[in-house]
Chains A and B, each alone.
Chain A
Amino acid sequence: MDALAEIRGIYFDECDEFTGLLEGYLAAMAEGRATSEDINGAFRAVHSIKGGAGAFGLSALVNFAHRFEACLDALRSGRVSVHAAPIDVLLQAGDVLTNLVQASRDGATLPIDSGLLEALEAFCGGTPKQAVPAEFAIEPEPAPAEEAAPPAPSRRPVTVRITPDADLFRRAIDPRVVFEALAGFGALELTCDTSAIPPLDSLDPLTCHLAWTAVVNTDATPGAIVEAIDCFLADHEFTVLDGSDADHASAPANQGDTPSPQADAVAQPGPAASADAAAVAKPEPAAVTAPGRRAGGGTIRVDLDRIDKLMNLVGEIVITQSMLTERATMLPKREAAVFVDALFSLNRQTRELQDNVMAVRAQPVKVVFQRLPRLVRELERSLGKKAELKLAGEDTEVDKTIVEELADPLIHMIRNAMDHGLESPEDRLAAGKPQEGVIRVSAEHRGSRILISISDDGKGIDRDRLIEKARSRGLIAPDVDLTPEEADNLIFHPGLSTAAKVTDVSGRGVGMDVVRRNVEALGGRITVESSPGRGCKFTLGLPLTLAVLDGMIVRAGAERFVFPLSSIVETMQLDSRSVEPLPGGRSVLRLRGEVAPIIRLRDLLGIRALGNEPNVVIVETDSVPRLAIAVDEIVGQQQVVVKNLESSFRRVEGVSAATILGDGLVALILDVDALPAMTQTSRRAPPMTGMYGAA
């Protein structure tokens, strides 16, 4: 049963993909730009969900998916025109289907709005009855649209002949899984045909020489049985015969390579459809996908670990190569020329290799974007507002880890835009705007970063309210005047939320500051532009990958450290005239009218060294907007490969990861946000055992 549980997990993972795709297809229909490809795609997605649901006995899901599918089939066959279709019903059905998948995964039940079911029935109500494939009539409570289907059959033996292709085992199909699925329908009697097994000396254990005849004593329809096993076997590999008499077997209606939507409905159309021995073939989409998968082209699923290993190897090549480059400078000129030429090619090839491996890990932001239309619809309902979501740049690709981390901030900002940004329809009309607001989400590449912007045409940030709140909480002095930009940026301050009342959508005061922290944890930045009465725009800039990082290498004592470039505001020489000593031995740096606390990296990290640091790196941190960190030398800017330190040692305060520099030595990447807190404890910290590194 473990194997079945695993397959169940894969099924639900695939369901997530299917619901995501479905969302996209439905959005195309809603916008009136749907092609037949979109409609077919939507049908296939729903059908695939239904097929798997049947295999796992998720009857509620099967039932709903089936009704939904019938509507899409009506569109697909042209019986109902897309333009006449009630798109709202389809969109709502898509949402319900997604919720049902979620509920089924959690083993929960979900009541379905009967109004929606009626609307779906009405949708394809006018269609000829025989158009609904008889094999779909497997549900305990058949939809009225399927009245023509035979009544639920009584318990009788059903014969399933399984004649798998020779590559069954190579496809990693364990026939036991099929038997288990069959046994789920009732008492199973299994006979194995071993006649095709060759003599032992010519036996290839990976080739399947077996065939089975299974007789299940069940009250399930042949269709249900087909659905239960067609995820494991191709069309031509099995035949389901209603009745134990195998002589009534007819050839499978669908040979897989010539799918035809009409032929697959019922093997013997017409009045004979309900006859006892009707051999039932599976619906067309499964037949289309199955041979495609075996054809060897297209796509494969690869374990992420393997790609990570590849990525690590590329990282090592990059390090080795920078070691070689360093050595090249030491060679005599004549020899160096040839060497440098070769290095130049190597450099380019490594770069290309790195880009290609990264491309394997890359995913389009569509994966996250496609969840947004549904979110907006739900928010429209719960907030009583109207909004149109416009997406752009969905195909922009970024590393998988970034895509995953993108979902929460995006969802949060959409909620914010819907809740705080957009006005109610009445207020919008009063302000001379169209009733329906517009939320735009777009993605684009900009250098080695991805820019994602979320904008709305709502009322903009309420600056006065923000300032008033910040003052009442003592976050800004009463006499300080803020520029509009500074006021807008208060939105990222922890503990400030402009919602007048706390709603379940947003307004708990853990809003944009959390978004900013999460974005910065990824090495990204977030900015806001607001124009009162006209709207608000947030822009996220994120690195394309977490595996490499643009860093600034500095030296403190004999040790080198890496600052993430994203946290550096500027670097400069330390001018003693702009240093202001404070009582207690600390000092601050005057910086164009502002002051920045100065800390010495060597004190912070307990490095033994002499002399004054001539340079300072100004960084922006969570808690201190400008922090001046004194260092001995600013070595230079470089892309570094990020190596986890936690897994090879433990978490180290002030350090986010490690990297290997061109000379093969390890340098630590600083966790800038943790540095201010360390200044409190650094005086008590024991010095680093740095004398070995200095050797």
Chain B
Amino acid sequence: MSAAHDLSGLPQAASADLQQIVTFRIDDRTLGVEVEAVREIKGWQPTTPLPNAASHVLGVINLRGAIIAVYDLRRRLGLGPAEVSRSSVVIVVDLGERLAGILVDAVSDIIDMPRSSFRAAPDIAGEGDDALKALLVRGNDVIALLDLSAIVRETPI
């Protein structure tokens, strides 16, 4: 767990102390990923399910000729299966060796966050907690920064 809380690995924003974060909502929670990891944001399209995959693996889609796997973030965070609506979007993220899609309810914003606002995620063994990399404090809001490699992991550690 401690590795997931290490903030030194965060990508550097152009401005030395600011990190751009793409935020989105699930219920009343605000979550975010670093803007550098986001390739594109696209509408929902039906997935082709994969046999014997973990429950948060929705299946694969065709992204302009490439095949990418799509993950249900709600399920991964222990919030029950997602219900696809008009505002549902898939955030296509770059995991380094491959692309992946993450299904979220809606995208909210792109914000600049000073690094000084980053806090270590609480080390509580709740379902989905290992998927958080850090908590960003913004006024009265707390934004949970996702650990993408943990999101796509099929067996939670």
* B57 in contact with A666 (CB, 8 Å): no
In the complex, residue of chain A having the shortest beta-carbon distance to the beta carbon of B81? A689
- CB within 8 Å of A: which B93-138 residues: 97-99
What B residues does A695 contact at CB under 8 A?
A: 46, 84
Q: How far is it, in angstroms, between the C-alpha of A660 and the C-alpha of B58 when the chains are bound? A: 17
Q: How far is it, in angstroms, between the C-alpha of A378 and the C-alpha of B12 when the chains are bound? A: 62
What A residues does B69 contact at CB under 8 A?
A: 648-649
What A residues does B67 contact at CB under 8 A?
A: 643-645, 648-649, 658, 660, 666
B49 within 8 A of A: yes
Q: How far is it, in angstroms, between the C-alpha of A260 and the C-alpha of B51 when the chains are bound? A: 69
A205 → B minimal CB distance (Å):
31
* B50 in contact with A692 (CB, 8 Å): no
* A664 in contact with B62 (CB, 8 Å): yes
A647 within 8 A of B: yes
Interface size class of A (residues with CB under 8 A): 35 or more
What B residues does A606 contact at CB under 8 A?
A: 51-52
* A649 in contact with B48 (CB, 8 Å): no
A379 within 8 A of B: no
* A648 in contact with B68 (CB, 8 Å): yes
* A658 in contact with B51 (CB, 8 Å): no
Per-position 1/0 for A636-674, Cβ under 8 A of B: 000000011101110011110010100011111000000
* A665 in contact with B62 (CB, 8 Å): yes
* B46 in contact with A665 (CB, 8 Å): yes
- The residue in B47, B49, B57 that gathers the most chain A C-beta atoms within 10 A of its C-beta is B49
Q: Which of A179-187, A312-320, A458-466, A542-550 forms contacts with chain B?
A: A312-320
B144 → A minimal CB distance (Å):
24
A554 → B minimal CB distance (Å):
14
A292 within 8 A of B: no
* A648 in contact with B99 (CB, 8 Å): yes
* A692 in contact with B46 (CB, 8 Å): yes
* A316 in contact with B64 (CB, 8 Å): yes
B115 → A minimal CB distance (Å):
33
* A689 in contact with B46 (CB, 8 Å): no
* A689 in contact with B99 (CB, 8 Å): no
* B49 in contact with A693 (CB, 8 Å): yes
A690 within 8 A of B: yes
* B51 in contact with A688 (CB, 8 Å): yes
What B residues does A593 contact at CB under 8 A?
A: none
B21 within 8 A of A: no
Among A648, A655, A664, A693, the residue within 8 A (CB) of B47 is A693
A residues near B (Cβ < 8 Å) are 312-313, 315-316, 319, 559, 604-607, 643-645, 647-649, 652-655, 658, 660, 664-668, 685-686, 688-690, 692-695
For the complex with contacts A649-B50, A654-B52, A686-B55, 17 further pairs of A-B residues with Cβ separation under 8 Å are A319-B65, A605-B51, A643-B67, A653-B51, A655-B51, A658-B60, A660-B65, A666-B60, A666-B62, A688-B53, A689-B49, A689-B55, A689-B81, A692-B47, A692-B84, A693-B47, A693-B59
Query: What are 12 pairs between A and B in contact, CB < 8 Å?
Result: A316-B65, A605-B51, A644-B67, A648-B69, A648-B99, A658-B67, A685-B52, A686-B55, A689-B55, A689-B72, A692-B47, A692-B59
